[in-house]
Structure 1
Amino acid sequence: MSNEVGSRKNSQNGGAAPAESGEITLKAKMSLLNGVTVIVGSIIGSGIFVSPTGVLMHTGSVNLSLIVWVVSGLFSMVGAYCYAELGTMITKSGADYAYIMETFGPFMAFVRLWIECMIVRPCSQAIVALTFSVYVLKPFFPSCTPPEEATTMLAICCILVLTFVNCWDVKWATKVQDIFTFAKLLALFVIIATGGYQLFLGKTEHFNFEGSNTQVTSIALSFYSGLFAYNGWNYLNFIIEELKDPVKNLPRAIAISCTLVTVVYVLTNVAFYTTLSPNEVLGSEAVAVTYAERLFGMFAWTIPVFVALSTFGAVNGILLTSSRLFYAGAMEGQMPEILTMIQIQRLTPTPAVLIMALLSLFYLFSSDIFALINYVGFATWVG
């Protein structure tokens, strides 16, 4: 059973509660630490585990690829700090959609909304779901690429399970997000620690500029892969109405999160190249799995497990926040009215969750992860 809410409010992270008037109201209950967790958990998904291959493919050398990772992080920080200022001036949930609506009016907001809802969000979710599938199946196909049909079917199952969770209870969805964020951070810290030990042993033979490709088109494509890994720095802005003291905590959360993620990403790439040659990275669809096989011996299975948990949580995060964007757009009258409906007993925007899931399943018709990354990267940074 569902009910149409008559004002533009959402129910992210269980922050919605029935008011005396019967409407749904938001409660500001997220602390600075919660804000940092939302951003870090949203950014760190499949990108760091799949994008190293895409970046190296177009840069040609390890050192140039590391430069791309650093510059991508700095570029993302610039955008994030702009959003911090916008978020403190326009304290409405919806992030870029809300800001464009306020500054440029309904038409430009409509264009941005539909680019995000029809291309960027569902395509990103499809990419992360496919990466989840690759890492789950890789231990069963250690010497070859997992079958395309199996990868696609497992990605479909991942999206459908999380769709049920997000439709059933917001608290379930937020618990999933918390648990799997810890898993992804643990996986990266293990990789960084072992990479640091390799550096201590003097494993630096792969760090050079040999084979660098400096063509403008190649560098641009490398940034598509790099910037894709940093997607998510604006996700806290989508739920800013639920952040305590947003004028103070939003800029702090963004600064802490973006700095932390940039450092972690660069160190993770350094760790990969202490052990894997450029050819090994290019020949692997699951770089972290190949890295673990070289260093962890009988415990190599742990990294695919952690990476799969990481990407599973990232799919949940995209579905959780993106469905609220569909809902916000519908409340402004710029998307079908049915997306304003919520389940009155469980307070979940069920129609918005379902349409987000269906669009993501459509993008799974293409199982080429790197083609999808280029597609969503172009739409994100140009649109």
Structure 2
Amino acid sequence: MTESPKKSEYNEVPKEEARAVDEAAEGETVGLKPKMTLFNGITVIVGSIIGSGIFVSPTGVLQGTGSVGMALIVWVASGLFSMVGAYCYAELGCMIQKTGADYAYIMTTFGPFLAFMRLWVECMIVRPCSQTIVALTFSIYIMKPFFPTCDPPDASARLLAAVCILVLTFVNCWSVKWATRVQDIFTGAKLFALAIIIVTGFVQLGRGQTQHFNFDNTEPDVTKIALSFYSGLFAYNGWNYLNFVIEELKDPVKNLPKAIYISITLVTLVYLLANVAFYTTLSPLEVLGSEAVAVTFAERLYGPMAWIIPIFVACSTFGAVNGVLLTSSRLFYAGALEGQMPEILTMIQIHRMTPAPAVLFMAALSLVYLGSSDIFKLISYVGFATWISIGLAVLCVPWLRWTHPEFARPIKVSIVWPVLYIIATIIITIVPMIAAPVETGIGCGIIATGIPVFLIFIKVQKPAPVRKFLRAMDIFMQKTMMVCSPEKPAQV
């Protein structure tokens, strides 16, 4: 990791070359461009939230609640909770219009150390692991019609997952418009699949299939119900992803809150109706015993056409991989701008205007995790860190109200909402610590690895030979990828 000076001598040659080419070709500065419309913003959020979870297994929520009625309440409550968090993020996103979302908010509010810890866990573990898992899910379900009675070969699944990641890496390096178009198309595909399931559910309700909708066997242990909220909220993970690309959103003050409200309302409604559809046909025992609820549902009702659901699940996860890659690369980019990651990750491809180095770095980490067989366990170790980070970001709302009342706030939420969200986040974080202390302890250990990294690579001045080597590597990579640091138009 290198420091990010405002103007470094080893940037000058590539920058001059980049400016000459860029001015001749397009006559504009190099940097991320606001090309995303409101519709693009909605599809980024919806596409990032709806991955494989709602198709594959709502089992986690049902296990904690014990009854269908309570499970549906948890799904709705999780959506409302996510809406409150998104409401707070709308204020932060319009007040601090920087790529990086909660990383940028924590940096502005609490300084570099806590921001780096957020960056470390999210960039080095959570995001690449999550992308790898979703890519593996894509490959398994795209091959499902060819292996109807058994699991696809592990080597083939991993190879296809790698192809998925590489194809989307190319798309995201080539054009922001291409990346958002992929997101639009595959978000449409997953919503179409869910529409088929939901319409089928309405048909089943019309036939009187309501026998499973009750509160029988509701779990009396409040701790287990709290853990079911953890599963429900995980399914909504991604509601804050548009904030990561806010510099590329047109008219963010107007479009960011609109995109958030429309998207989360849509997802909550879709999740509720999809679960209702499942329970019109499958009993709680069948849901608990199914590895892929949507596939079991299709096999029961669609007969020879049951194969369409695995295909649509694959489309859903393909779009989710693209959404994670699109937004995660901006998190690397934002961290590098603050000098907390290698400077090369701040740079923009001079012709395509995309953060190609950050996209490639994210893809490389995801491919590395494809070789691991313990990815799911690793994610479970650090999953609670996501909610700590989001809670810390929401804490920025009241903190900045107190410390920086002069900041412009195009959107100003009632202070009640961030306070309620912070209290709920504390509860959601503490309950898993009590229920699973070993996993939590290991997760804390993984997170703590960021402390020596921060001290060695960020705080301590590096020796001259190390700085010289890093400068040489930056020059080499700049020339290889034809990238340069983003330029700002002259202030007048």
Same topology, TM > 0.5: yes
| Distance apart, 1:293 and its partner CA | 1.3
Letter of the 1:202 counterpart: G
| Aligned partner (choices 249, 252, 256) of residue 258 of structure 2 | 252
Letter of the 1:64 counterpart: M
- Between structure 1 and structure 2, the one with the greater Rg is 2
| Distance apart, 1:226 and its partner CA | 1.4
| Aligned partner (choices 121, 136, 152) of residue 115 of structure 1 | 121
| Aligned partner (choices 110, 122, 131) of residue 104 of structure 1 | 110
Task: Give the distance between the partners of 2:381 and 2:22, measured in 1 at CA.
Answer: 40
2:163 is the counterpart of 1:154: no
Question: Are residues 154 and 219 of structure 1, via their aligned partners in 2, closer, same or farther at CA, if it must alter by over 3 Å?
Answer: farther
For 2:138, the equivalent position in structure 1 comes to 132
Task: Give the distance between the partners of 1:59 and 1:282, measured in 2 at CA.
Answer: 12
Whether the 8 Å contact between 1:126 and 1:364 is mirrored in structure 2 is yes
For 1:377, the equivalent position in structure 2 comes to 383
For 2:59, the equivalent position in structure 1 comes to 53
- What value does the CA root-mean-square deviation take over the aligned residues? 2.7
Letter of the 2:293 counterpart: V
Question: Are residues 218 and 366 of structure 1, via their aligned partners in 2, closer, same or farther at CA, if it must alter by over 3 Å?
Answer: farther
Letter of the 1:138 counterpart: K
| Distance apart, 1:183 and its partner CA | 0.5
Task: Give the distance between the partners of 2:204 and 2:322, measured in 1 at CA.
Answer: 34
Task: Give the distance between the partners of 2:207 and 2:331, measured in 1 at CA.
Answer: 49
For 2:70, the equivalent position in structure 1 comes to 64
| Distance apart, 1:214 and its partner CA | 4.0
For 1:30, the equivalent position in structure 2 comes to 36
2:378 is the counterpart of 1:358: no
Whether the 8 Å contact between 1:84 and 1:250 is mirrored in structure 2 is yes
2:348 is the counterpart of 1:333: no
For 1:195, the equivalent position in structure 2 comes to 201
Task: Give the distance between the partners of 2:61 and 2:388, measured in 1 at CA.
Answer: 19
Task: Give the distance between the partners of 1:331 and 1:165, measured in 2 at CA.
Answer: 23
Identity of aligned residues (%): 75
Whether the 8 Å contact between 1:94 and 1:325 is mirrored in structure 2 is yes
| Aligned partner (choices 212, 215, 218) of residue 209 of structure 1 | 215
| Distance apart, 1:159 and its partner CA | 1.6
Q: TM-score, normalised by structure 1?
A: 0.87
Question: Are residues 377 and 70 of structure 1, via their aligned partners in 2, closer, same or farther at CA, if it must alter by over 3 Å?
Answer: farther
2:241 is the counterpart of 1:235: yes
Whether the 8 Å contact between 2:295 and 2:306 is mirrored in structure 1 is yes
Question: Are residues 5 and 281 of structure 1, via their aligned partners in 2, closer, same or farther at CA, if it must alter by over 3 Å?
Answer: farther
Whether the 8 Å contact between 1:330 and 1:336 is mirrored in structure 2 is yes
| Distance apart, 1:316 and its partner CA | 0.9
For 1:225, the equivalent position in structure 2 comes to 231
- Per mean C-alpha deviation after superposition, the further-off stretch among 327-336 and 47-56 is 47-56
Letter of the 1:333 counterpart: G
Equivalences for residues 249-328 of structure 1 within 5 A: 249-328=255-334
Deviations 1:208-267 (A, max 9, x none): 333333434433432332112111111111122233332232222211111111011111
Task: Give the distance between the partners of 1:134 and 1:231, measured in 2 at CA.
Answer: 22
For 2:98, the equivalent position in structure 1 comes to 92
Gap regions ≥5 residues in structure 2: 8-20, 390-492
| Distance apart, 1:286 and its partner CA | 2.1
